[in-house]
Amino acid sequence: MTHVIEFIVFLPLLAALAILVGAPARPTALAAAFVGLITVLVVAFQFNPDHEVVGGFAYQFTSSLPVLLDAKGNAVLSLAFGLDGMSLVMVLLTALVLPAAILVSPPESGIKGNPRLYYLSSLLIAAGALGAFCSTDLFFFYAFHELALIPTFLMIGMFGHGANRVKTAWTITLYLGAGSLVLLGGLVALFYASGGTTFDISEMVQQAKIIGPAESDRWVYLVLLIGFGSLVSLFPFHTWAARAYAEAPTPTAMLHAGVLKKFGLYGLLRIAQPMLPDGAEAWQNLVLVLLLGNILFVGYSTIAQKRLDLMLGNSSVMHMGFIFLGVASANVIGAHGAVMLMFAHGISIALLFALCGGLRERFGSTDMAEIGGGLATKMPRFGIIFAMAAFASIGLPGFANFASEILVFFGAFEPMQKSGATTLGPLQWTCVLALWGVVISAVYMLRAFRRLFNGPVRVGAPDCADLTPAEQVPLVLLLGVLLLVGFVPGLLLKYLTPSLELFSTLGR
């Protein structure tokens, strides 16, 4: 198991290379996706939650290949990988969404354009996410994420939906490119603030702890917040996201909204919060205001959408506000909720985009008025899975989203309970207002279900077939995960607890 993490990270890259040189695209992608999933499950089974903490993080399955040495022979830059509980959960999310995204992809004969590019792009997006989540070196943490953005742009521009897909691809390129440059500036500042001797994240955290807080910490944290926030679609840097997901091919929307967008949140928890706790505290109220923009402003915008894909795109942006609430709480309970909700949201939004893609294939549109109602009578299996996915997105008990959101809300009130305060502070008032977002979610998801599946069948509506057994496989896989984690959240919490207990002590 020494090099198992390299295998997990580089397997999609090798499969993409094989497709590029002539291997059959879909079988190769499917094989890589399922072999990767099985490998991650084996790693999760062998992962020891009580592993000894070394260098501030409880990394396991570590490996390191020095790339740049200083004058004394010490590694400054290394291609280094490792897993702790938080990164394991994110790798598990990626490993689950990738095979579902490949399965819902059209056959090679049904792709207009180069089918090899289509499949290898999906593999590269997953490889970039895996590399970022597994990297213990700051440089490669950033570099792997940038690797995943390139195929995202290509997929939207070349294989996306709608006449404006090229414009949308350029828009997302400019937005995320600018966000990445801001993030790069923040990471460089962070590197020098921690001593400027190594890119190893664990050592940087320890050095930051020794050096102690500096006057520049709050400004470095603000730059990182803007950089990471732009990639996560934090309000008001969110306008690229909904349109990009609506016009992206289905597997790209699943992988980006479900997996890659969590990179920014993961970076805040992994790097910014532990190394710059005073900066995080200084800008907490700003984060609280911005996350309410995600939940309330974008939430009401979601209600107004008439197309299912735009509704889901805005919904994804809205739910980032709940995760930011867990991050802003800056305590162990809130961090648990944030990571759990990253996982739950990733699975549920991937499932919903897969279902949206199925409707687009059948009706040639995602406009809910054009599709009409009464689909439950013609497509009962489709309707049942859509209803379950909608319930998960709303946060109904029994689904992973519910367990995650409860932890986020508890985390917001934990400081009040610890201090014995009797009046609500900014964090608690934000949580109270954010609860209205649950109602908003119920409004737009249940209304979408009613428009599409209830009522009489629209006159002249095509007689579309229900889900085939093959189409049900990826949907049932994702839905089963949501139910399993919803009923037994301890399956993930047992991995998260040891690493996130360090959350309140790292960097202080």
Distance CA 157, CA 428 (A): 43
In this prediction, residue 196 carries a pLDDT of 72
In this prediction, residue 507 carries a pLDDT of 42
Residue 9 has pLDDT above 90, yes or no: yes
The residue among 105, 66, 112, 93 whose CA lies nearest residue 8 is 93
Q: pLDDT tens, 176-210?
A: 889 899 999 999 988 888 777 788 888 888 777 65
Q: pLDDT tens, 274-301?
A: 888 888 888 899 999 999 999 999 999 9
Q: Residue 508 — very low, low, confident or very high, per pLDDT cuts 50/70/90?
A: very low
Tally of CA atoms within 13 A in the half-sphere of 254 that contains its CB: 34
In this prediction, residue 167 carries a pLDDT of 86
Q: CB of 325 within 8 A of CB of 284?
A: no
The residue among 137, 120, 161 whose CA lies nearest residue 63 is 137
Residue 279 belongs to what H/E stretch? helix 277-282
pLDDT, greater one: 193 or 97 = 97
Q: Residue 52 — very low, low, confident or very high, per pLDDT cuts 50/70/90?
A: low
Q: CB of 170 within 8 A of CB of 303?
A: no
CB atoms within 10 A of CB 170: 13
Distance CA 43, CA 92 (A): 10
Residue 261 has pLDDT above 60, yes or no: yes
Determine what percent of the chain is predicted with pLDDT higher than 90: 50
Q: pLDDT tens, 64-74?
A: 887 776 666 66
Distance CA 192, CA 425 (A): 35
Q: CB of 326 within 8 A of CB of 431?
A: no
pLDDT, greater one: 160 or 457 = 160
Q: pLDDT tens, 421-442?
A: 778 888 899 999 999 999 999 9
Q: Residue 506 — very low, low, confident or very high, per pLDDT cuts 50/70/90?
A: very low
Residue 33 has pLDDT above 90, yes or no: yes
294, 282, 207, 334 alpha-carbon torsion, rounded to 10° = -50
CB atoms within 10 A of CB 268: 27
Distance CA 93, CA 400 (A): 13
Q: Give the dihedral sign, CA 104/108/109/110.
A: positive
In this prediction, residue 70 carries a pLDDT of 63
